[in-house]
Structure 1
Amino acid sequence: MNDSVRLKGDFFQKSSSGKPGSAQLPAGESVITQHLIDLKGNIKTLIEFWRDNRVLKSGVIVSAYYREVVAKSNRIGALLLDASGDPSDYIIGAKFTDDDTNPKHIITYNVSLAALEESVRRLDVCARILTRDFSGEINKETLMAINAGQISLDTSELAKSNFAKVIVDAFYVERFDLDQSAETIEQAGIVSVYDIGENTQELLQRLGLDVANRSFLGKTTFYATEAQFNLLKSKAPYLISMSVSDLADYKLTDEEQPISSKPLTIPQPGIEPTVGVIDTVFDGDVYFSDWVEDHDLVATDIPGVNSPHGTEVTSIIVDGPSFNPSLDDGCGRFKVRHFGVTRGGVTSSFTILKAIKEIVSTNTDIKVWNLSLGSPREVNRNFISPEAAVLDELENQYDVIFVIAGTNKGRQKPVPEIIGAPADSVNSLVVNAVDSSGKIVGYARRGPVLSFFSKPDVSCFGGDDKHPLRACTAIGEASVIGTSFAAPWITRKMAFLINVMGFSREVAKAYIIDAAIGWQKDGQDSRFLGFGVVPTDIKQVLQSQNDEIRFVLTGLSASYDTYNYNIPVPITDDKFPYLAKATLCYFPGCSRNQGVDYTNTELDLHFGRLSSNSLKSINDNKQGEKGHYDLNEENVRKNFRKWDNIKHIGEELKPNARARKKYDQPLWGISLKTKQRMSNVPRERIPFGIVVTLKNIYGDNKIEEFKQNCRLRGWLVNDINVENQIQVNAEAETDIHWD
């Protein structure tokens, strides 16, 4: 096995040189006068509605129903907008239509009444021009001729550029309407209203709702009783951005049975890393109690019997290999700071969320958190759950990572279910379960979330009927099954990579995901498995085969293009005899009020050989290249995972694999193209981690040649050796054992 290599060098930053051209229609498409008239009628109806409903002080709300999943560059540029500002500044929400086979964007805007009136005027002018000068229809070629000045517009009522923008807006928008919530809640719920720039509490008071400060989870999200929600829905349904019932029945395990066992012992803790666990309350009558710092946050007057779930989860993190020897991961033992936030069963999500925010903000020394609580209720396809949004916010704020169970499906429900909160957390590492042969288990639930983001991320053994896992409780060992007990094994690996090996969370996450992805497609369903099954042994995560070169890169994206074109992949017979794969992980800021457009920043990964004037990415990614600015949004999301915070590109190992041509530059390169979704959100300086693996198709071991070439080209090269790092920790009295 070859050790991984850490390459330290500079990534260079370059601003975008591309400038948006004039508005254009797609090839073969056109706009007719009647469609402009129909859109004008939509807006006039909305104007009449808002003149009669003056609840809002800051403009009005209107939704554009687009004809497809629409790219930022093809969203409204001349309609609904005031004279100044970026069009994205007016967006307050986004969702998809209910058709899974042909999803379309519904984007909600907060604009002035004057902007609606101006939109009516512009549509009227454009409709008259089309009828008078173009026989009621305009196509791509005609609009191009107008933009180029080859055809003159005989009007002083509208600038040529705005005429083109209105035509293109009209092409992409099917209709304008007022999207109103159809959601219901039971007993009580967590409700979000659109962020329209007003004080939410004052806005609710004008509608007759008195919501106390303590009931707010954020600026626009609050706890509401069933009566309050119904009142809001009857008076202003157009204000409701999203809502979910508050009471979640945290059914924690699929099966659990006490089993006989021999007594276990454990030495006293030393300076082992500490992992955070948020779960049901901890039972201190266990053999490993000295390894756990217990914080019981459940009020003593709350009735119920304590579930052993939290104790069992913590037992695996502290000492799991001792009672599951076949699953020994080589990561040693970990201390746990355990926070009991529920006894189990029906619990208020709002109360748990408040507790989690307080826990993480006051325990910033902990970088890896395990959360194996999960709701049986499916997440909504159009907005992130409040639980997931809070976790993503905390990860962005405190440089931490949550490892989350993928939630279980009960035996009484044979139909596959979409995962439950908080397993829709985009930045967290979500873990599903497999059986002992690596196959999907019957209790597994599936993704994606927000109709797009891949969840779960990875899978791990979680026990099955024939081969359950073992966990420890105060009465001895127990036979357990569930995603709750798969997640702690990945938590152990993340804690080892971050706290022992010294990696950033970005690199650690990239290592875990990259290790789950093989060179051959196995045909298993990624909706259940994510990127794949993570190897048990931490060595298999960090090391590669003798015919492979695995290296890790880190950097900071601070401009449009973050790049390094100086990777000296070994050459044989003037060719590159390698297959390649690369995994990129980063943690973008997220905006729950943007609905399905949840992540604020996109890092677009390009990796491959260099020619004289370009980088030939191994997945033929053309995004951002000259002549490829108007790629279909749905296709680039599907093929290149645009807006996803995990990017993996890789090639499949086939019997007829051939060496690659070497261009005039004998090097490979990496480029990250950064895009911001909203102009009114400050540009993020985003740390990233990339794990790259190269496989020699001839079976040659070229790792030493690669390291030598890298040193000659100015890279600082460090071997990532597990045994050496464990020895360093052993000398510091860290109790980590390596067999």
Structure 2
Amino acid sequence: MAKKYHFEIPDKNISKKEINKNAFGESVPRDNYSEHGLSLKSSKELFKEHEFRKKDLQVLSDIFLQISTLDDLKIKNHSSKFENLGFKLISTIPDNQSIGNFKINNEKFQEFETKLDEYIYTEENKYKTYFAPIENIKPIPDETKVVSINLESTEKYNIIINFFSGLKSNEIFSLEKLLNSEFHDRDLEYSFCNISNKIVSVKSYLNGEEIKNILNEFNSIKDIQLNLDYYVTNCIKGDSINHDIIISPPSSSSAICIFDSGITTQGPIIPSFVRHRINSYLPYGTISPQYSHGTFVASRCIFGDNIEYQISQKKLDPYCYVIDVPVFGIDGSGNLIGMNDFDLSKVITEVIESLHTEIKVYNLSLGSPFSLTDNYRSHLANTLDILSKEYDVLFVVSSGNILSSLGQYPDEHFTHPNARIGSPAESLLSLTVGSIAKFDFESSVSKRDHISPFSRIGPGTDGGLKPELVTHGGNLVSPYVLAPFSRIATCGFFDDGISLAYDNGTSFSSPLVSRYSQMLFDYYPFANTNLVKALLIHFSEKREIFEDFDFDYKFTGFGEPNINKTIYADNSATYLYQGNLDLDNYDYVKFNIPHQFVNDQESKLKLKITIVYNPEVDINSPTEYSQTRLSVKLVKNTGRGHREISLSDSNNYFRQWSPILQFEKTFSRNFIDGEWEVALRLYTRGIIDPNYTQSYAIVIEVIDVTGKINVYDEIKNDQTLHYNSYENLANDINYA
């Protein structure tokens, strides 16, 4: 049977319509504006006395401070007034909406002082609209900058000092010189890192008193957090592989980059598919890569999930190559030595800067053993988001493993705080992958196609959906133990290169999504990362949680990707489009419903629509991290023209500021065939560029629920329509 391919929505099907914008604001009364101004002047002078002696203000053009309003006011509602005084809101306080952190340029601060005097001393209290909401101006408190550190402790902490983003490149250079002098004078070791002029940070080992001294000298410190360590595990050796096995040529010449413990150099199989080894990043104190975990992960990127079956058939079918970047090693005693948050971020940045034009998919089957809390993002997660946006690459990250039972399964186990994802799985723009079981027996903890008992769950640190996807990562035996040689474990290659290996974990589900992602980049060579993510998410099939549990995205996300459906169409019609939204116009994306839905009264129309975009992120603002969001409207064709319809009763995932939107809507009447539309609008926060555009990808699937209408053929054979089939643009690959 001939293969069917998805449809491309042509640019002529996209219309832009201007947005009518209205703005409103509150005014704040004061009993005596002049007295209020004198109070502000007093707090301003105290601020200057405390902060203007700090060393970094000698080389930076911005000053960082905290402004509060009256307790019953939301500071965000008045930020536009503060902008008229030169203050730019950079973050809000999660548990107090009347407080915000701001920055102001040196010159603007002097203008602010002049305006403040005019507010106090002019008869009409000039600028009172702007000043009246301000209750206090003060330094950002040190205690709000320090995370999980006791400043009174004499213990040395492995820390990362993060500076506010938005510094100019010449200022970063001057700041680095200043930091070098500061740490040298105090006889302290440190390491400096600048990632894309957006993440500026220092790693050091300091006690509480030393941390306080640094805070006293630098106004631009955003926060100081513990430098997390990352870990991987060893897998268990299985049977030897017979020498008579046939190895097919790889289906693709592409490669997936793997940051892990190293890929074996032994045996005739795995090394043949390692295109390049970058061994220069092994941690200090190691004598070689660890090989066990990384080889297992790489084998699943190359050969997929059914390695045992391929071995039994005496034929291995590789898909692609891999690039090996070992970031875990062993010392002379065989102990595992890994990397921390800071060092791993530097390594990944350097590799992406070098490889991004050639390599699109990067697998991170690693993580911190500690669960995350609301509004916290690790240094590494921030780094992955910055690099994802800047270089349009895709990071595939494991959700992490629950290492022991957390209580009665599943209720107490999965409601425990330690069941939540760990770093760097909170990365907003990465694909986070959890695990499901594919095999079970009487004593196994989980059932087939249910969440694996060890798979960490969401939500993300912003309350959004994590993990997005799940694939096979194994199962456990009751009460909560590994059964490595039973069929419920996952299979890969051992580090001797000639044996199978067995293990369980989200580390081994992630490579399957990396493999699928690479297939889509190969098949759709024009695709950006948004489209690849949208296809994987759209064509994922929901997976079960447990009996008596209501479905919740935080367990298994959108489900398990069906790679076949991402590439080839069935009887439904799927439209794909990649576009860019500006701030002034709606994008109306047009698609068609075939006439057969009107002719066949027993048919039932269903639309499934997935939208993925890659927002700018603001590492200064953990509560407002994503800087863009999209609103969506569906416009159907009726006998009386086009009409917008409500999506509130649809099966949907809509969360403001989330980079993924999805809804399903079913229709049985009150519509006609022909041209329908999806209307998209861009909103931003913290982005001041009026010319900013947001790239997005949209997948629109038209389905007959009854299965009577071959929707694909109806669209394909309609001579009045002009949709391109991707068979003319895509590379026909072997995706098995």
Q: TM-score, normalised by structure 1?
A: 0.76
SS of residue in 2 equivalent to 1:108: strand
Select the residue among 657, 661, 667 that pairs with 2:670. Answer: 661
- Measure the CA separation in 2 of the matches of 1:696 and 1:640: 24
- Measure the CA separation in 2 of the matches of 1:37 and 1:281: 68
Map of 1:52 onto structure 2: 49
Map of 1:296 onto structure 2: 279
- Measure the CA separation in 2 of the matches of 1:230 and 1:59: 24
Q: Deviations over 1:636-679 (max 9, x none)?
A: xx97322211111223xxxxx6514237x953102221123234
- Measure the CA separation in 1 of the matches of 2:614 and 2:523: 21
SS of residue in 1 equivalent to 2:206: helix
CA gap 1:464/1:399 in 2 versus in 1, 3 angstroms: same
Map of 1:374 onto structure 2: 367
Select the residue among 256, 267, 276 that pairs with 1:275. Answer: 256
Map of 2:79 onto structure 1: 76
Are 1:233 and 2:204 counterparts?
Answer: no
Map of 1:157 onto structure 2: 125
Are 1:646 and 2:660 counterparts?
Answer: yes
Q: Deviations over 1:488-525 (max 9, x none)?
A: 11111111111134343222211111122559998333
Map of 1:628 onto structure 2: none
Cα RMSD after superposing both structures: 4.3
- Measure the CA separation in 1 of the matches of 2:251 and 2:569: 31
Map of 1:508 onto structure 2: 532
- Measure the CA separation in 1 of the matches of 2:404 and 2:70: 40
Select the residue among 297, 303, 310 that pairs with 1:319. Answer: 303
CA gap 1:106/1:411 in 2 versus in 1, 3 angstroms: farther
Given that residues 588 and 678 in structure 2 are in contact (C-alpha distance below 8 angstroms), is that contact kept between their aligned partners in structure 1?
Answer: yes
Map of 1:471 onto structure 2: 492
1:689 CA drift (Å)? 1.6
CA gap 1:174/1:9 in 2 versus in 1, 3 angstroms: farther
Are 1:408 and 2:415 counterparts?
Answer: no
Greater RCO, 1 or 2 (C-alpha within 8 Å, sep 6+): 1
- Measure the CA separation in 2 of the matches of 1:716 and 1:674: 26
1:614 CA drift (Å)? 6.7
1:482 CA drift (Å)? 0.5
Given that residues 619 and 625 in structure 2 are in contact (C-alpha distance below 8 angstroms), is that contact kept between their aligned partners in structure 1?
Answer: yes
Percent identity (aligned)? 19
Superposed, which structure 2 residues align to 1:50-129 within 5 Å? Answer: 50-53=47-50, 54-56=52-54, 57=57, 58-64=62-68, 74-79=77-82, 81-83=83-85, 90-97=88-95, 104=97, 107-111=100-104
Superposed, which structure 2 residues align to 1:184-263 within 5 Å? Answer: 184=148, 187-195=157-165, 197=167, 199=172, 200-201=175-176, 204=179, 215-218=192-195, 219=197, 221-227=200-206, 230-234=209-213, 236=215, 239-250=220-231, 252-253=232-233, 256-263=235-242
Map of 2:647 onto structure 1: 619
Map of 1:134 onto structure 2: none
- Measure the CA separation in 2 of the matches of 1:616 and 1:105: 37
1:397 CA drift (Å)? 2.5
Given that residues 96 and 105 in structure 1 are in contact (C-alpha distance below 8 angstroms), is that contact kept between their aligned partners in structure 2?
Answer: no
Given that residues 64 and 106 in structure 1 are in contact (C-alpha distance below 8 angstroms), is that contact kept between their aligned partners in structure 2?
Answer: yes
Given that residues 6 and 567 in structure 2 are in contact (C-alpha distance below 8 angstroms), is that contact kept between their aligned partners in structure 1?
Answer: no
SS of residue in 1 equivalent to 2:539: helix
Given that residues 583 and 682 in structure 2 are in contact (C-alpha distance below 8 angstroms), is that contact kept between their aligned partners in structure 1?
Answer: yes
SS of residue in 1 equivalent to 2:147: coil
- Measure the CA separation in 2 of the matches of 1:317 and 1:19: 48
1:481 CA drift (Å)? 0.5
Given that residues 331 and 492 in structure 1 are in contact (C-alpha distance below 8 angstroms), is that contact kept between their aligned partners in structure 2?
Answer: no
CA gap 1:422/1:125 in 2 versus in 1, 3 angstroms: farther
Q: Deviations over 1:294-342 (max 9, x none)?
A: 33234596236725111110011112345243999x9952111111122
Given that residues 39 and 175 in structure 1 are in contact (C-alpha distance below 8 angstroms), is that contact kept between their aligned partners in structure 2?
Answer: no
1:381 CA drift (Å)? 3.0
Given that residues 432 and 459 in structure 1 are in contact (C-alpha distance below 8 angstroms), is that contact kept between their aligned partners in structure 2?
Answer: yes
Map of 1:140 onto structure 2: none
SS of residue in 2 equivalent to 1:447: coil
- Measure the CA separation in 2 of the matches of 1:580 and 1:67: 46
Letter in 2 for 1:5: H
Are 1:182 and 2:179 counterparts?
Answer: no
Letter in 2 for 1:241: K
CA gap 1:367/1:208 in 2 versus in 1, 3 angstroms: closer
Q: TM-score, normalised by structure 2?
A: 0.76
Map of 1:447 onto structure 2: 458
Map of 1:359 onto structure 2: 351
Map of 1:338 onto structure 2: 324
Map of 2:422 onto structure 1: 420
Q: Deviations over 1:194-252 (max 9, x none)?
A: 247555336657977769996123455222323287534345377432333225041x2
1:41 CA drift (Å)? 9.4
Q: Deviations over 1:666-723 (max 9, x none)?
A: 531022211232344574444322112223244322424642587524x3330559xx
SS of residue in 2 equivalent to 1:224: strand
Given that residues 629 and 682 in structure 2 are in contact (C-alpha distance below 8 angstroms), is that contact kept between their aligned partners in structure 1?
Answer: yes
- Measure the CA separation in 2 of the matches of 1:682 and 1:591: 17
Q: Deviations over 1:352-376 (max 9, x none)?
A: 2222122122223111121112111
Are 1:607 and 2:631 counterparts?
Answer: no
Map of 1:9 onto structure 2: 10
Map of 1:18 onto structure 2: 20
CA gap 1:290/1:439 in 2 versus in 1, 3 angstroms: same
Q: Deviations over 1:175-202 (max 9, x none)?
A: 9884432324563222212247555336
CA gap 1:37/1:488 in 2 versus in 1, 3 angstroms: farther
SS of residue in 1 equivalent to 2:593: coil
Given that residues 605 and 703 in structure 2 are in contact (C-alpha distance below 8 angstroms), is that contact kept between their aligned partners in structure 1?
Answer: yes
Select the residue among 382, 385, 393 that pairs with 1:389. Answer: 382
- Measure the CA separation in 2 of the matches of 1:592 and 1:123: 34
Q: Structure 1 stretch 203-212 or stretch 105-114: which is displaced more?
A: 203-212
- Measure the CA separation in 2 of the matches of 1:209 and 1:120: 41
SS of residue in 2 equivalent to 1:157: coil
**Runs of 5+ consecutive residues of structure 1 not aligned to the other structure:** 26-30, 98-102, 127-154, 622-637, 652-656, 730-735
CA gap 1:678/1:661 in 2 versus in 1, 3 angstroms: same
Map of 2:723 onto structure 1: 716
SS of residue in 1 equivalent to 2:351: helix
CA gap 1:599/1:569 in 2 versus in 1, 3 angstroms: same
- Measure the CA separation in 1 of the matches of 2:238 and 2:251: 30
SS of residue in 2 equivalent to 1:55: coil
CA gap 1:460/1:66 in 2 versus in 1, 3 angstroms: farther
- Measure the CA separation in 2 of the matches of 1:433 and 1:105: 41
CA gap 1:703/1:614 in 2 versus in 1, 3 angstroms: closer
CA gap 1:32/1:191 in 2 versus in 1, 3 angstroms: same
Letter in 2 for 1:188: N
**Runs of 5+ consecutive residues of structure 2 not aligned to the other structure:** 150-155, 330-335, 408-415, 439-447, 478-487
Superposed, which structure 2 residues align to 1:493-642 within 5 Å? Answer: 493-502=516-525, 503-516=527-540, 523-535=550-562, 538-543=563-568, 546=571, 548-564=572-588, 566-571=590-595, 572-573=597-598, 577-610=604-637, 616-617=644-645, 619-620=647-648, 640-642=654-656
1:275 CA drift (Å)? 1.5
Q: Deviations over 1:530-554 (max 9, x none)?
A: 222334xx224445664x3322222
